[in-house]
Structure 1
Amino acid sequence: MDDARQPAAPVQTLSAKQAEERLALLRQYPTAFDLRERARKRMPNFAFEYMDGGAGEDTNIKRNWAALDAVELAPRYGRVISPPPADTKLFGRSYAAPIGIAPIGGPGTAFPGAEAHLARAAQAARIPYTLGVLSGIEVEKAAELAPDVLWYQLYRFSNNDHKIGLDLVRRAQVAGVQALVLTIDTPVRTIRPREVRSGIVNPFKLTMRLRLDAMTSPSWLYALSQAGIPRFVSLRQYMPANISLADAAAFIRREQGGAFTWEEIAKYRDHWKGPLVLKGVLHPADAERAVAMGVDGLFVTNHGGRQIEALPTSIDALPAIRAAVGKKATLIFDSGIRSGIDVARAIACGADAAFAGKSFLWSLGALGAKGPGHLINVYSDDLRATLGQLGCANVDDLARITTRHPGAWKREDFGE
């Protein structure tokens, strides 16, 4: 699917009232961390801990942030720069900014109905939205809400020669999904202590403890009354009719698990006719192998620090990945984005775009349905200001900005 066949919808023109509301929100919540603090106060504790926490004691989340903060960008002056545009192209399609919404596991636990709100906001802003397979809406519904910007993420469903996984690919193709994302960095599920301490059980169930916790958050309860308890809607047609939530979770545990093998990635490459993206690449050798077998793009990510604490930070691994694949693949940076400056840092270090997940959940917790659109504005405005301050006329100019990146891994650091 390319621009000539299906152009992306233009960004909506704001009315005077909408512009006033946007400005008021920007004054009240000018950063992602302002939204985080607002969300902490408005959400049930278990919902905040689920969306905000990571593996272990959040060590890799903190390291992702610190590594991004350490990247310095040297500006170039001497020409007149008007407020520059932030539009870009990914896989031949135009987007309003090199910013996207990353796949998020079980976002409905953090904020009921999250997927629909995220899809609508991404469509309105014309940035990519990656729907996760373990979601609260079907891919077909997401395609109705975000027809011009929808990407789709899959985990490994290998039983019966990938019967479910390949049928999900078929459905995504029919729905008009623009890019298929295969996640490879979750071979096993690790423990997230903040979730455990908050009382979350797997499968998710509103225990008495969680119900009492939820009573402190009228906004979350109202969202739950509208969207219902999060269920695995995308997979419902593969399960027995009227299956309970517990049995549905058991079904998924039987069907889904492990990381895609290279042979399986090749199988999905054969079945999927659009751009194929591999999510979770941190080693240059894996990047080279993926590109050699026809993968079009790579998510350079350590899963946002939510799987294991010992991984390299995503920004530190990024330059070596870019050096390994050159211009043969589109690189999506993910893990730790908190600002438009972070987006600029990622692109200057080798990415084509930067996606965020956690902060979009913060935005929902803080402002409900208005949150994702507001955060997109925060990131986009900050990115344009950063481009202008650096002397960049557009996003592509970031590739020519001199960087100082003290934590960057070199190709030889990875060995063979």
Structure 2
Amino acid sequence: MNLQLYPTAFDLRARARKVMPNFSFEYMDGGAGQDIGIKRNWDALDAVELMPRYGRVVSPPPVDAFLFGRPYSAPLGIAPIGGPGTAYPGAELHLAAAAQAARVPYTLGVLSGIDVEQAAKIAPDVLWYQLYRFAKNDHKIGLDLARRAQAVGVHALVLTIDTPVRTIRPREVKSGIVNPFKLTMRLRLDAMTSPRWLYALAKHGIPRFVALRRYMPPNLTSLEESAAFIRQEQGGAFTWEEIAKYRDVWKGPLVLKGVLHPADAERAVALGVEGLFVTNHGGRQIDALPASIDALPAIRAAVGKKATLILDSGVRSGVDVARAIACGADAAFAGKSFLWSLGALGPKGPAHLIDIYANDLRATLGQLGCMTVGELSTIGKRHPGAWTPEQLAG
């Protein structure tokens, strides 16, 4: 029934808009400025054309993939999402469970409602972990979080480098969301329009920074006090020297999230970084950046096969996953659309969306005449928005 009613990610988005509180939908859907960055990501992906080849029988081809030497059911994953509980209370539990069941990577964000130890129990085979910069006391908090992730078997550590400052997201502001999140009277009245969101809130409570609780003074009990502590400890972008420090501590695959310039990609690889998220943060930080897909080919040309590349930002379908791989990625991750799925269908949403992506990718491969995911890199493509060396030098 879900497949009939909601066959695409955009159908889930439309449903979420109808049934969720307005502030919840605005949080999960909005970006920086006038949402131009979000539109640019979508338009740039839509502009990539793939040339099919016919003449051989292609029964539904496999879409399994290897990332950092580990097998997954498809070259797609769930990107780290900051504060997903604001969009849907308990989001991390449902995302982790769906990813584990489907065998696709789930990247838990550090500012989440569950800690890495709990996530590892739910998704032991597919768990990645994302960190922001906690630089005080020689990165005491950040490095300890990395060690905790290592101890519970996290498969990849992701350092986010593209959030040096917090920017304004107008749709969130207009909807009444305050930082830190607080259920004001305005938001309470808004939430009363959505029984599903209220039920999830009653079950899971107001989202809290669970992973960081052990580092806070014991007298900090309120959400506001916890948020103030985090603002004091966290901020800025990782420097190259700091990335090298994490490389020394972390023994598994190290991934940088937020790379758009090939020179940054080359420097990261020289430090021993194995993976790069090519992303403009989903258009949520500043809407003047290039579309992620348009930056991807130059990065692949710069690093060759020395790094695993993950396209993030704007991915809405299996066709988009195929476009990303054809243009140089090893996989494509999505974040926003998984919040849509939770808003639309609750706990059942993420699993349904993974099926949408995988089935669409399988059909796309067959239509293009590809026997495997790897053959996408060999087909003809037209990518009008790709950045050129001359533009990068300018």
Query: TM-score scaled by structure 1?
Result: 0.94
After TM superposition, list the pairs within 5 Å mapping 1:223-372 onto structure 2: 223-241=200-218, 243-372=221-350
Answer yes or no: is the 8 Å Cα contact 1:332–1:355 preserved in 2: yes
Find the partner of 1:37 among 14, 19, 28.
14
Map of 1:410 onto structure 2: 388
- SS of 1:279's equivalent in the other structure is strand
Q: Which amino acid aligns with 1:96?
A: S
- SS of 1:30's equivalent in the other structure is coil
Q: Which runs of 5+ in 1 are unaligned?
A: 1-23
Q: Once the 2 structures are TM-superposed, how far is the Cα of residue 412 of structure 1 from its aligned partner?
A: 3.1
Map of 1:153 onto structure 2: 130
C-alpha RMSD of the superposition: 0.7
Aligned residues: 393
Map of 2:32 onto structure 1: 55
Deviations 1:349-400 (A, max 9, x none): 0000000000000000000000000000000000000000000001001010
Q: 2: CA distance between counterparts of 1:153 and 1:319?
A: 25
Q: Which amino acid aligns with 2:117?
A: E
Q: Once the 2 structures are TM-superposed, how far is the Cα of residue 411 of structure 1 from its aligned partner?
A: 2.7
Map of 2:364 onto structure 1: 386
Q: Once the 2 structures are TM-superposed, how far is the Cα of residue 415 of structure 1 from its aligned partner?
A: 1.4
Answer yes or no: is the 8 Å Cα contact 1:281–1:298 preserved in 2: yes
After TM superposition, list the pairs within 5 Å mapping 1:22-171 onto structure 2: 24-171=1-148
Q: 2: CA distance between counterparts of 1:70 and 1:387?
A: 18
- SS of 1:231's equivalent in the other structure is coil
Q: Once the 2 structures are TM-superposed, how far is the Cα of residue 167 of structure 1 from its aligned partner?
A: 0.3
- SS of 1:399's equivalent in the other structure is helix
Answer yes or no: is the 8 Å Cα contact 1:109–1:230 preserved in 2: yes
Query: TM-score scaled by structure 2?
Result: 0.99
Q: Which runs of 5+ in 2 are unaligned?
A: none
Structure 1 runs of 4+ aligned residues shifted over 4 Å read none
Q: 2: CA distance between counterparts of 1:176 and 1:303?
A: 26
Q: Once the 2 structures are TM-superposed, how far is the Cα of residue 413 of structure 1 from its aligned partner?
A: 1.8
Q: Which amino acid aligns with 1:308?
A: I
Q: 2: CA distance between counterparts of 1:170 and 1:316?
A: 35
Q: 2: CA distance between counterparts of 1:56 and 1:188?
A: 15
Answer yes or no: is the 8 Å Cα contact 1:182–1:278 preserved in 2: yes
Q: Which amino acid aligns with 1:222?
A: Y
Map of 1:195 onto structure 2: 172
